[in-house]
Amino acid sequence: MANENVSVVFKLYCLTVMTLVAAAYTVALRYTRTISSGDLYFSTTAVCITEVFKLILSLGMLTKETGSLVKLKSTIEEHIIFSPKELLKLSVPSVVYAIQNNMAFVALSNLDAAVYQVTYQLKIPCTALCTVLMLNRSLSRLQWFSVFMLCGGVTLVQWRPAEATKVQIEQNPFMGFVAIAVAVLCSGFAGVYFEKVLKSSDTSLWVRNIQMYLSGIVVTLIGVYVTDGDKVLEKGFFFGYTPWVCFVVFLSSVGGLYTSVVVKYTDNIMKGFSAAAAIVLSTIASVLLFGLQITFAFASGAILVCISIYLYGLPKQDTSRVSRLDASAESKQKLISV
Ligand code: NCC
């Protein structure tokens, strides 16, 4: 089954790398869109190249997993070449992720990185809602409460003063917020859809990724053609690519693959909780190692994050038992009054 046993250390390692990469990715992307001098690259091509990189890396991982080229060939034939239905199934999250990944560029071209990070935390309740609706899981009232508390906690933890640096382009904050709203919905839906497909069969994570990235390449290429087609034909696909842009593509690819591993071994809600814990822990580590100053917002946010993690992890029966006790007390009361 998809949920094999792996050590807690490995899970923690994946979560920490995913969170650190996501933080670096947001800042580097913002830099390439607003501060870095020179010709501005086409963001649609960066999203497309990322899909190509993820496909190559996943093929490498699948080769390692199957152990031989013969087995790799038969796996590719069975699950990719002769499985158009499965490819179609995975084209759903790939379209949604393509929209989300493009929206990140729109948002970070128009909003400060810190504002983006904070607003993007709305994905936590959105993911919880998608999990309940699409995976038929239930959350107790206390767990819902902890989801919203986590959202508030991460918001405070990531609270930073706005950028002091002057940006080189004109910004439209309204457009930035609309892009975040779309990205939040896409992240919740695509994440849970992928989790559902991945965990409903024994098919390897790398096969699922390859299926998704193949349609991802097609969809993002259509995005390049529709949005920047004329300009790309005139100036070239890699117009404006600097080492910083290549770094953004690298982070985006590595971050995407780590996200898939995290979803395989945990789930999308846990991804949100653990990412929050990783942010808190890495900041505390920076305090101990580099003497970073802790702000009041960080300290209160960190406390909220810890309490929400504790509340979310409380056994569900506790709350249902309380409501059962309440209900039986209520019926006893009714009997007495009768
Ligand atoms: O928003 P988020 O993830 O849910 O987006 C998921 C990202 O992972 C890629 N993905 C997902 C599944 C899969 N099997 N393969 C993939 O490549 C998707 O294409 C999508 O890019 C998060 O939980 O906050 C997280 O945030 C992103 C990123 O910071 C935001 O989307 C902002 O743009 C992180 N991605 C990177 O750091 C590159 C992700 O690791 C965690």
Choosing from 259, 263, 266, 271 the residue with most ligand 1 atoms within 8 A of its CB, the one to mutate for a pocket test is 259
pLDDT at 161: 67
DSSP string, 239-306: TT--HHHHHHHHHHHHHHHHHHHHHHHS-HHHHHHHHHHHHHHHHHHHHHHH-PPPPHHHHHHHHHHH
**Is residue 103 exposed (0-12), middle (13-18) or buried (19+ Cβ within 10 Å)?**
buried
CA 219-225-229 angle, 5° bins: 160
> What's the mean pLDDT when you consider all of the chain?
86
CA–CA distance from 9 to each of 6, 14, 17, 193, 257 (Å)? 8, 9, 12, 27, 18
pLDDT at 37: 66
Share of the chain above pLDDT 90, in %: 52
CA–CA distance from 315 to each of 128, 141, 143, 268 (Å)? 17, 12, 10, 19
Domain boundaries, the chain: 2-337
The structure's pTM equals 0.86
Q: Measured between alpha carbons, how far is 220 from 156 in angstroms, rounded to an integer? A: 34
Q: Measured between alpha carbons, how far is 167 from 163 in angstroms, rounded to an integer? A: 9
- Between these two residues, 302 and 260, which has the higher pLDDT value? 260
Let me know: does 75 contact 271? Beta carbons within 8 Å: no
- Between these two residues, 321 and 67, which has the higher pLDDT value? 67
Using the mean position of ligand 1's atoms as its centre, give its distance from the Cα of residue 258 in Å: 9
pLDDT at 2: 44
Give tens-digit pLDDT for 136-166.
888 999 999 999 999 898 888 877 766 666 6
Work out the pLDDT band at 131, boundaries 50, 70, 90. very high
Q: Which of 35-49, 194-208, 295-309, 312-326 has the lowest mean pLDDT?
A: 312-326
Give tens-digit pLDDT for 273-332.
877 887 787 778 777 777 777 888 888 888 998 898 888 877 765 444 444 444 444 444
Is the pLDDT at 59 greater than 50? The verdict is yes
Work out the pLDDT band at 4, boundaries 50, 70, 90. low
Half-sphere exposure of 126 (CA within 13 A, CB side): 17
Using the mean position of ligand 1's atoms as its centre, give its distance from the Cα of residue 332 in Å: 52
Let me know: does 137 contact 131? Beta carbons within 8 Å: yes
pLDDT at 337: 42
Give the binding-site residues of ligand 1, using a 6 Å CB cut-off: 18, 21-22, 25-26, 54, 97, 101, 104, 187, 191, 194, 209, 212, 251-252, 255-256, 258-260, 271, 275
